[in-house]
Amino acid sequence: MTGDRLRSIHPGTLAISIAIGRRLKSWIVWYAQCACRREQRRTLARLDDRQLRDIGVSRFDATREAGKPFWK
């Protein structure tokens, strides 16, 4: 039945549906990346000086990175 339904859909409608699906997927991926960056920057901001030294990051660099907007 699914094959019959797909054959009855106008090709232009199917192409638009595929394009919308791809766009939606790209937005979901972008949102997930932004959320991940936000969480990593929050974690970085909470590290103390000893922990930052352990990973080779200065307090200045950590503060600068943590202050970036989530989309960058």
Torsion of CA 36, 42, 47, 53, to 10 degrees: 60
Amino acid symbol at 56: G
Chain centroid to Cα 57, Å, comes to 24
Domain ranges of the chain: 30-72
Most confident of the ranges 3-12, 15-24, 36-45: 36-45
62 CB neighbour count, 10 Å cutoff = 19
**54 pLDDT more than 90:** yes
Nearest alpha carbon to residue 64 among 49, 46, 51, 45: 45
Q: What value does the mean pLDDT of the chain take?
A: 89
Report field, pTM of the whole predicted structure over 0.85:
no
